[in-house]
Structure 1
Amino acid sequence: MYKFLSHEPLANKSCHHNHEEHSHEHHHSHADARSVDKKILKISLLMTFSMMLVQFIYSILSNSLALLSDTLHMFSDVFALALSFLAIIAVEKWQDHQKTFGYFRLEVLVAFINALTIILSALFIIYEAIEKFINPKEIDAKTMIIVAILGFLVNGVNALMMFKGANLENVNMKSAFLHMMSDLLGSLAVIIGGIVVYFSGIVYIDTILAIVLSILLLRWAIILLKQSTNVLLESSPVDIEKVKQVLLLNPSVDEVVDLHITQITNKMLVASMHLKVKVCDLKEFEKLSQDLSHKLLHEFEIGHITIQPIRSENEI
């Protein structure tokens, strides 16, 4: 008797055509989504950079530490948006035969870096808020309010564009959106703080709001950091045991000897498995691989599957 070595799932002509058609549509869907994401990021980057310069100038002129903190936070957003934009360019344009999955993982790496910058920005805001609470300074509240409102509008437009048009299931775009939301909330805190200072002279409400909003940002950023870390560490995005159960439901599969599932980027799952199978020849195995590939694609969205079969010992 014989033992199979390794085999990529094959299909008959009809099934192969359907799979190609699905892959073709899937590819164009991803390409279209990235094209929209790239356009949104470009507009957001230009608007955020311009607003950052305006806020920096007027934070110095108004002597507003809160506005300066928001400006530094916006600087981290400019950095994050630039990285997100470059990640999409890399996926679309850069070619390297050694990188068999292209630069898709760069999107996840950028999301990881973005999450870290959000965390650092939030911690910096908390530090500055405590410092301001201990040593309050007189500020030009009117200028602070006007500039913060302008920043709020710019961040609001950017966040709305991303929410309506971007693919927020993509961790790269999700991280960029979180940056916009964090800046939106930061601008809101500065507006409220400025209004309170203008009418009452009490500066502490601005400090309290900054701390509360920063804690919320930390929570969001930690979730994003966990998601991107899991992808980079190649943790399985789906329940391994459930996948094994589905494989064993096929009467031709005796045992799942080994199973690895990883996520390259958003909606791009890869699985490799070592199965003991009850098949007599290559034709039967081709049919089995088609069935398993179809099942895993539709139940778990695993689109790239490699099966290494070993003939079951009880099969004569």
Structure 2
Amino acid sequence: MQKYLLHKPLIEKCHHNHSHKHHTYDHSDARNMDKKILKISLIMTFLMMLVQFVYSILSNSLALLSDTLHMFSDVFALGLSFFAIIAIEKFEDKQKTFGYFRLEILVAFINALTIILSAIFIIYESIEKLFYPVDIDAKTMIMVAILGFLVNAFNAFLMFKGANLDNVNIKSAFLHMMSDLLGSLVVIVGGIVVYYTQIVYIDTILALILSLLLLRWAIKLLRKSINILLETSPVDVKSVEEMILKHHQVGKILDLHIVEITNKMFVATLHIEVDIQNLSEFEILYQDLSNELLKNFNIGHITMQPSVIKKEN
């Protein structure tokens, strides 16, 4: 069988020893070390989230509650990454020709909506407490925030040292940990200021800042997930067309579709009019175009349909 009929995704060569299966892209996702680190981080973050939530209510700290919501988004991110690896490894369904990769996008969409609603609630509560301030147990706020900081620092260090940060899911989870680490640090500083000055407005202002940052991140996540679900091209289509038309055998692009199945998993299908004499020439053109699409646009799964240019006698 000709290579261009195999319809298999390409992967870029790197220094790691990867295995590759048709339509799975599991060359880095299914590593046992990644699963182990994600599992540990998920359990620790979930338990710390529960502790922070209880003490944010007991201490009347909106900043601590806001940081709890941030940690809630971390739990979703870690759970998503962990479940995605399990789903890719364990679940098989011939009807789902790209596997369960879109689960990541569906959960990200729901996750973003949940975070946006939570952030709006915190902003509303913050504005209300600016007009009707309440006493804050700053000491409890500081102690819980320090504990949260240590948990996030441990998880971030664990991922940095042992996980494969080339994996987009793991890297996303690592960035979540780093952002939550910063959030815990902000709450600690705020708690210290409140403890020594008794200016409770500091807690409210910090809650507003953290909620607005969380809202900004959630809106970006929502926009990205919507674009993927609507199958918006993840790369500039015009640039792809210009690159394809540089080949002298290509006369015209009759049809071109580029979609993102999940994060950084790009698929292209194209119908081109070509000036070739036989299948061997088309195979060479196919290989050249496939390698260029992978190298320049990270498109690893390409299907091409040729139509031979009819020449007038």
C-alpha deviation, 1:187, in angstroms: 2.5
Aligned to 2:4: 9
Match of 2:121 among 117, 120, 124: 124
Measure the CA separation in 2 of the matches of 1:37 and 1:176.
Answer: 11
Aligned to 1:3: none
Which amino acid in the other structure matches residue 282 of structure 1?
L
**How is 1:200-239 mapped onto 2 (pairs within 5 angstroms)?**
200-239=197-236
Aligned to 2:27: 31
Measure the CA separation in 1 of the matches of 2:177 and 2:312.
Answer: 60
Measure the CA separation in 2 of the matches of 1:162 and 1:214.
Answer: 26
Distance verdict in 2 for CA 1:26–1:231, change over 3 Å: farther
Bigger CA radius of gyration: 1
Aligned to 1:245: 242
C-alpha deviation, 1:97, in angstroms: 0.7
* CA deviation map 1:42-68 (0-9, x unaligned): 111111122123334434544545434
Measure the CA separation in 1 of the matches of 2:301 and 2:222.
Answer: 26
Measure the CA separation in 1 of the matches of 2:154 and 2:282.
Answer: 54
Structure 1 SS opposite 2:165: coil
C-alpha deviation, 1:27, in angstroms: 3.0
Aligned to 2:294: 297
Aligned length: 303
Aligned to 2:165: 167
C-alpha deviation, 1:277, in angstroms: 0.9
Distance verdict in 2 for CA 1:168–1:190, change over 3 Å: farther
TM-score, normalised with respect to structure 1: 0.82
Which amino acid in the other structure matches residue 9 of structure 1?
Y
Task: Please state if 1:109 is matched with 2:106.
Answer: yes
Q: In 2, are the aligned partners of 1:175 and 1:224 still within 8 Å (CA)?
A: no
Structure with the higher fraction of residues in helix conformation: 1
- Which consecutive unaligned segments of at least 5 residues does structure 2 have? none
* CA deviation map 1:106-144 (0-9, x unaligned): 222233333333323322322222232222222322122
Q: In 1, are the aligned partners of 2:18 and 2:28 still within 8 Å (CA)?
A: no
Aligned to 1:146: 143
* CA deviation map 1:289-316 (0-9, x unaligned): 2222233222222222111111112276
Q: In 1, are the aligned partners of 2:269 and 2:304 still within 8 Å (CA)?
A: yes
* CA deviation map 1:257-314 (0-9, x unaligned): 1111112223322111111111223233223222222332222222221111111122
- Which consecutive unaligned segments of at least 5 residues does structure 1 have? 1-6
Distance verdict in 2 for CA 1:195–1:315, change over 3 Å: farther
* CA deviation map 1:131-164 (0-9, x unaligned): 3222222232212211111112212333444456
Distance verdict in 2 for CA 1:177–1:229, change over 3 Å: farther
* CA deviation map 1:53-87 (0-9, x unaligned): 33344345445454345445534543443233222
Distance verdict in 2 for CA 1:111–1:176, change over 3 Å: farther
Which deviates the most, 237-246 or 125-134?
A: 125-134
Measure the CA separation in 1 of the matches of 2:124 and 2:180.
Answer: 17
Q: In 2, are the aligned partners of 1:256 and 1:275 still within 8 Å (CA)?
A: yes
Structure 1 SS opposite 2:4: coil
TM-score, normalised with respect to structure 2: 0.83
Aligned to 1:4: none
Measure the CA separation in 1 of the matches of 2:222 and 2:160.
Answer: 20
